[in-house]
Every structure is written in C-alpha cells, then in structure tokens.
C-alpha cells in the first residue's frame, strides 16, 4: 500500500470518528415529544448527571412531563449503578438549586441485581455483579420555576448512610430549562 493511501485512510478514519462523536453528543440530552391522543402529550428528556462524590453512579436520568387538557405533572426518574453491598435509596433526597435547598422524596424505589461472566479460571467462571437502583421524584410547580431560573443545581442522595452528590452540567441545565418551558 502506498504511503499516500495510508494517510488518506487515516484521515478518513479520523473524520468518521469526529462525525460519530458529533452525532453522539448531539443526540445526548434530546427532548422527545409524543402525542398520546385525547389532547395529551408525553415529553421526555433523557440525560445523566455528573458524579461529584459518593458511591452511586448516575447512569441515566429521565425528566418526564405529562400534559393533559392544559394541566401538567413532571417527574424525575433516576437510575444508578451501585456496588452489590450498597443498600437501596433512602427516601429523602435534597435538591439544591443555587443556594436554596428542597427536601424531596423518592417514590417507587426499586433494586435489580445484574451480573455477567467476565472470565474463567480453569473450569470456574469469574463473575462481576452490580446493582441497579431506581427512584422517582415528583416536581412541584415551585421547583420547576426555580429550576427554570437556576444557574447551579445539585442532588444529594443517601443510600444506607452514604451520601452521593450529583451536579447538573451547564449543557444539561440548558436542555432541562428548554424541557421545562414546554407547556402545551
């Protein structure tokens, strides 16, 4: 193979990689609007939040809003990876918007343990397991308004006495504000 064709192949690979990364970053934090009929809509924003400290890793957060006949109800569905020995989510969660704190409650808390074989030693398998922890938070109109005007948002979540702090990054907060502005 000629030297120029190797360079061309490398340049094409780099361009494809850049396009791939751009597509992934553009599709992240996408707002979806689904018309469910009878003058109602379901609006979702799927994202994640940065782990600042603690044992729980937020791998997905879904903001969900149901609008029906002009009334809306919003909620947050949070999904975490946790070590197998971590307990479930504690009921209380602290939402810190700028310098104001809101005590909220997790509802519908669930745990699911998953695993997979990661290797083998002779005839024995080596397995890795992890715990998926889920919880839902209802958002009041007051909190939605505070989020819409916020500059800094953190969640402080407890699990069996351990605290996890999550931070909403600027691009995520911008998309969340766009999500909250949809009312019809």
pLDDT at residue number 161: 83
The answer to whether residue 126 scores a pLDDT higher than 50 is yes
Distance (Å, rounded) from C-alpha 83 to C-alpha 71?
40
CA dist., res. 55 & res. 15, Å (int): 37
- The residue length of the chain stands at 184
What pTM, to 2 d.p., does this model score?
0.77
Asked if the model's pLDDT at residue 8 lies above 70, the reply is no
CA-closest candidate to residue 164, choices 74, 64, 61: 61
Q: Within its chain, how far is the Cα of 89 from the centroid?
A: 16
Mean residue pLDDT of the chain comes to 84
Exposed, middle or buried by CB within 10 Å (0-12, 13-18, 19+), for 7? exposed
CA distance 57 to 67: 30
pLDDT confidence bin for 34, thresholds 50/70/90: confident
The rounded Cα 150 to chain-centroid distance in angstroms is: 18
Residue 100 has pLDDT above 60, yes or no: yes
Residue 113 near residue 80 (C-beta atoms within 8 A):
no
51-96 per-position pLDDT tens digit: 999 999 999 999 999 988 878 899 999 999 887 777 789 999 999 9
């Amino acid at each position: 193979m000629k030297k120029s064709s190797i360079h061309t192949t490398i340049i094409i690979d780099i361009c494809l990689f850049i396009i791939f990364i751009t597509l992934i970053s553009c599709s992240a934090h996408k707002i979806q609007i689904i018309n469910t009929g009878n003058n109602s809509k379901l609006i979702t924003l799927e994202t994640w939040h940065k782990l600042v400290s603690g044992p729980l890793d937020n791998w997905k957060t879904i903001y969900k809003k149901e609008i029906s006949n002009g009334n809306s109800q919003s909620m947050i569905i949070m999904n975490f990876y946790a070590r197998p020995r971590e307990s479930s989510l504690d009921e209380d969660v602290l939402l810190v918007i700028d310098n104001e704190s809101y005590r909220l409650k997790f509802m519908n808390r669930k745990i699911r343990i998953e695993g997979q074989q990661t290797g083998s030693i002779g005839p024995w398998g080596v397995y890795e397991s992890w715990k998926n922890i889920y919880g839902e938070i209802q958002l009041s109109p007051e909190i939605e308004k505070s989020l819409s005007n916020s500059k800094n948002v953190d969640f402080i979540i407890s699990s069996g006495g351990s605290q996890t702090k999550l931070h909403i990054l600027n691009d995520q907060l911008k998309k969340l504000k766009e999500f909250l502005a949809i009312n019809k």
